[in-house]
Structure 1
Amino acid sequence: MVRLPEIEVDEPKSYRLVSSRYPTIALFEDVASAEDFEDLYALQAMTNPRLLTQAGDLNLVPREEIPFGITGCSYAMASFTHVNPEGSRFSDGTFGVLYLADSMETAIREISYHQNRYLSGVEGLKYDRLVFRGLRCAFGGSLSDATGLDEDDPIYAPDDYSHSRALGLSLRKRGGEGLKYRSVRNAGALCWALFTPKGVRRVVQAAHYEFIWDGEAISSINKISLQHS
């Protein structure tokens, strides 16, 4: 496997979309340190097990990697405590990855592609309306840089994730913080895959977006609200 160069990043503009059907969780916002978190977590376990289910599997993230005290800490944590067992481009489903895009347009194209694939497989579905929260993110750290690889490199295969997952697993096992790579769904754009939340500095909610499925494809995408922060 090619050894990728390491780069330092310092708060590039980045964006992502998350489904609004998942409620926001304030558990991580209520504390500023790992010590305070342990006390609150123990209290919540006794009084509100539903919130613990929403927070996800906290054993998947070392306490020292949780960015306590930042704005939007729960958004930063969600990808790592709620792991998709089916995996993603750089994960085999055994660990979480926080995916970020260089613009909201790139984030929309990435989400649209995957939602189209999913909804196309739902038999008899003639209409659906999906609402996503747009998030503005800031992060920093030392990342591997895959943007120097050719566009036809197997890690950029549109639907075959075997090579990209092997790369993600290798980087994570070596303690890598993440990866900068070319967007596969928006030519010329960039994305980041973070293997740990520790470099996230803030996550702020921006607009909401409505995706309309017409039975064959996502036929329209509309911005429906804007949060000023």
Structure 2
Amino acid sequence: MKLPVTNIAEPNTVRLIPTGRLKGPILAALVRHQGDLDDLAELESATNDRLIAENAGMPELRREDLIYSRPYRTFINAAFAHTRPGGNRFNSERRGAWYCALEIETSLAEIAFHLTRELINIGRFDNRTDYTELFAGFIGPFHDLRGTAEQTCLDPDPSIGYPAGQALAAELIAQGGNGLLYPSARRPEGTCLVAFHPHLVQDVRPGAIWRLEWAGSPEPTIYKA
């Protein structure tokens, strides 16, 4: 597929992650000495996809593709090593990607949609989750879906949009593409960015904490915590 390419210089794209990921190992308080901590680390490395990828690589994610000496590198690597069953809009379940937005409102709309889907699946709108902003910079050429003819990969229905998006991403990666700019399916006036390669994610740093709260309704209350 022939798509326009835009050279971008975006210093403050924003991604939201659960604040729990910023905390240290929950079992660390139980260990008495370094040997016990080392044993816990070894146990975690056997089941943690990020650590597996960093140590030995994965079928579609080479060890040398990951980041090893950059602040917040674990968050970058985790985005590519941890995937959900069935994948997301522009990545399969075999390799992740870095998703972010140009506006915090867009990131919040995306997160709210996906977490609401999970609550619909369990049939209970009773939840409170805190997310922290992760800002990152991107420089270089990205394929651009904004302003193009209607694309199946942008369909708001994941069962339609995701297979088409994953096929497009595979094609662009094979061509050496960096990623995509595209209109948000959850906030049409917003812009999302997906990066296909870890080294593209620059200058990661944390920002504010946001709370999403559901209290009996599928519409969450969203505010800074």
Same-fold status (TM-score > 0.5) = yes
Residue 89 of structure 1: SS of its match in structure 2?
coil
TM-superposed deviation, 1:174: 2.8
Query: What corresponds to 1:203 in structure 2?
Result: 204
Query: What corresponds to 1:194 in structure 2?
Result: 195
Q: 2:52 aligns with which of 52, 57, 61?
A: 57
TM-superposed deviation, 1:184: 1.5
RMSD: 2.4
Distance 2:73 2:23 in 1: 11
Query: What corresponds to 1:98 in structure 2?
Result: 98
Q: Which moved more, 1:70-79 or 1:104-113?
A: 70-79
TM-superposed deviation, 1:91: 1.8
Q: Which moved more, 1:187-196 or 1:8-17?
A: 8-17
TM-superposed deviation, 1:107: 0.3
TM-score norm. by structure 1 comes to 0.79
Q: 2:151 aligns with which of 150, 153, 160?
A: 153
Q: How does 1:83-162 map onto structure 2 within 5 Å?
A: 83-123=83-123, 125-150=124-149, 152-159=150-157, 160-161=160-161, 162=163
Query: What corresponds to 1:3 in structure 2?
Result: 2
TM-superposed deviation, 1:126: 4.6
Unpaired segments ≥5 residues, structure 1:
27-43, 225-229
More helix by share: 2
Is this contact kept in 2: 1:67–1:200, CA < 8 A?
no
Q: Which moved more, 1:211-220 or 1:56-65?
A: 56-65
Is this contact kept in 1: 2:13–2:100, CA < 8 A?
yes
Query: What corresponds to 1:82 in structure 2?
Result: 82
Query: What corresponds to 2:171 in structure 1?
Result: 170
TM-superposed deviation, 1:185: 1.3
Distance 1:102-1:48 versus aligned 2 partners, 3 A rule: same
Distance 1:148-1:130 versus aligned 2 partners, 3 A rule: same
Q: Which moved more, 1:153-162 or 1:17-26?
A: 17-26
Query: What corresponds to 1:41 in structure 2?
Result: none
Identity %: 26
Q: Which moved more, 1:57-66 or 1:46-55?
A: 46-55
Distance 1:66 1:82 in 2: 13
